[in-house]
Amino acid sequence: MKYCKRRQIIMVYFIGGSSTETGINLYNKLNERYPIHKIQEHEVSRLHFHPQDVLIRYGSRFYPELDQYCHHIVNPVSFISWSRKKDQLLQTMEAHRIQCSHILTHEELRHPRFPLLGRRRIHSRARDIQIIRNTQDLRRARRCHYFVQYIPNHQEYRLHIINGDLVRIQKKFLPHQQSPGEVIIRNYDTGWRFEDLSRESFRHNISKLKQLVLFSKSIHSVVTKYNTSSKHTMKMYAVDVVENSHGLHFLETNAGPYLSPNGIRNYVRQISFFIEQAMTDESE
C-alpha cells in the first residue's frame, strides 16, 4: 500500500458487508451513483491511495491499516471497535449519567434482583441473551460474560444517527400479542420487526420526538468524546433504546445495522453528501 501523489481523481473504497444482505445492498446502491471499489483481500497490498480518497466501512474492521491512507472515512475502524465492546460501552454511558442497562458487579450478583439478562461481549440480533429468573439460571449461565438488570419497558426504538443528526427513527412491533408481565426479548428470532416512524407519526406527540432527539444528542456527545480524529470522518450508527415510566434507556450501538430498502436509501443519501464534500475539498 502506498500514497499515489499524482492521481487527481478521487477513488471511493468500500469494506464490509460481503456476507450480509444489508452490506451487499448498500454497496450496490452506492455503486449506482459512483464507481465504488470493493476491496478484496488479495489486492490490499497493491492498492495505491491518494490522501483525498474516501473509505467506507460498513461494520467491518478488516484491514485497519487502510485508515491511515485516507483522509475521508465513513466509520473509522477505531469507532467500530469501540462500539462493539458492549459491556464497556454501557459502563461509559452510565459514567456519563445516561440511563442504561446496569452491569452487575460481583458483589451485586451475590444478592441479585431477578430477572437479569446474561450477555456476551460480542453479539448481534440479541441472540446471545439468556433470561436469568433465579439462582439456578444464574449458576447455569456459564457462557455469559456479564449480567445486566432487566429493564421493564413498554417500547423499544432504534435511532439512526449520522454525525450527530437523528436521521431515522424506528420502533419494534410484534404481529401477535404477548402475555402480560412476560419478560420481553425483542429480537428477530422471537418475531419482532422494525417499522419506520415519520415526523407525521409524532404529529400528536411532538414532545416524544423532542425527547428522542435530545437523547440521541446526549449519546452522540459521548461517542464524539471518545472518538476524536484529525481526519474528516462520518460516524453513522444505530442506537437501540427502550422506554418505560422512567424515560429512555440506552441498550447498545451498532455500526453495521440491518437496513430495509428505505433505510438503504437513507444511508446512501447521507454517504453521497459525504462523498460530494470530499470531491469539493479536492477541487478547492
Amino acid at 142: R
Q: What is the pLDDT of residue 29?
A: 95
**Is there a contact between 78 and 67 (Cβ–Cβ < 8 Å)?**
yes
Q: What is the pLDDT of residue 175?
A: 77
- How open is the CA angle 154-178-188, to the nearest 5 degrees? 80
Question: What DSSP assignment string belongs to 3-65?
Answer: E-SS--SPPEEEE--TTSHHHHHHHHHHHHHS-EEEP-GGGGGG-EE-TT-EEEESS--S-GG
Q: What is the pLDDT of residue 4?
A: 47
**Is there a contact between 9 and 48 (Cβ–Cβ < 8 Å)?**
no
Query: How far is the C-alpha of 253 from the C-alpha of 249, rounded, in Å?
Result: 12
CB under 8 Å to 43, separation ≥6 — which residues? none
Quote the cell numbers at residue 57. 466501512
Provide the residue-wise pLDDT of the chain in tens; the chain has 284 residues: 444 444 456 799 999 865 578 999 999 999 999 999 999 877 888 888 888 899 999 999 999 999 998 889 999 999 999 999 999 999 999 999 999 999 999 999 999 999 999 998 877 667 788 999 999 999 999 899 999 999 999 899 999 999 999 999 999 988 777 665 566 678 877 788 899 999 899 999 999 999 999 999 999 999 999 998 888 999 999 999 999 999 999 999 999 998 999 999 999 999 999 999 888 865 55
Q: What is the pLDDT of residue 52?
A: 86
Question: What DSSP assignment string belongs to 63-115?
Answer: -GGGGGG-SEEES-HHHHHHHH-HHHHHHHHHHTT--BPPBPPHHHHHS--S-
- pTM given for the model: 0.90
Q: What is the pLDDT of residue 45?
A: 81
User: What is residue 157's three-state secondary structure?
Assistant: strand
Query: How far is the C-alpha of 217 from the C-alpha of 110, rounded, in Å?
Result: 36
The Cβ of residue 24 has, within 10 Å, a number of other Cβ atoms equal to 14
Query: How far is the C-alpha of 45 from the C-alpha of 198, rounded, in Å?
Result: 45
Q: What is the pLDDT of residue 82?
A: 94
Phi, psi for 92 (deg, rounded to 5) = -65, -45
**Is there a contact between 30 and 271 (Cβ–Cβ < 8 Å)?**
yes
